[in-house]
Amino acid sequence: MNRTLRIVFYHPKEVANVEDILSLCREIGCKLVAVPRGSNREEVCKLVECFDDILAALSPNCATLVLETSGSTRIPELRESCINVVLGAEDYGLPPVVIKELVERGAKIVKIPMSRYGVSYNVVTALVLLLTEITISEHCPQRC
């Protein structure tokens, strides 16, 4: 099965992470959409505006996975041919209200196996782990 993947990166902080994800997307044929942040913490867009930006970036009628340390679910086996992946900012993730809204719209919050506090996860590494699991489920649906 050929899957359509769209990566939505909310408020990326590090340019190197965006470049790495762009390289990854070029390799595997996915699309990256970044929802930019303001130049300082006080200029970060209002949550409603940010949420509208996230919704506009998602491919309609696709499964949506949100990578977060607050997730309670492991990477699900996916049969969908179209998947949105939402990544939070490296330093503060996604606002809880945004996560709640995405869940109410059917998104699954996937657990990043790391501590919620302290050093932030490497967003590129977390994405690669998720994409690896998606690829395994695509090529080996019975869990080889």
Does 103 or 40 have the greater pLDDT score? 103
Q: Residue 47 has what pLDDT? A: 47
Average pLDDT over residues 56-79: 79
Q: What whole-number percentage of the chain has pLDDT above 90? A: 10
- Integer Cα distance of 120 and 135 in angstroms: 25
- DSSP conformation letters of the chain: -PPEEEEEEES---HHHHHHHHHHHHHHT-EEEEE---SSGGGSPPHHHHHHHHHHHSPTTSEEEEEETT--BPPPP---SEEEEEE-BTTTBS-HHHHHHHHHTT-EEEEPSS-SSSSPP-HHHHHHHHHHHHHHHHH-TT--
pLDDT exceeds cutoff 70 at 21: yes
Does 112 or 114 have the greater pLDDT score? 112
Domains of the chain: 4-139 (3.40.1280.10)
Average pLDDT over residues 38-67: 72
> Dihedrals φ, ψ of 6, to 5°?
-125, 125
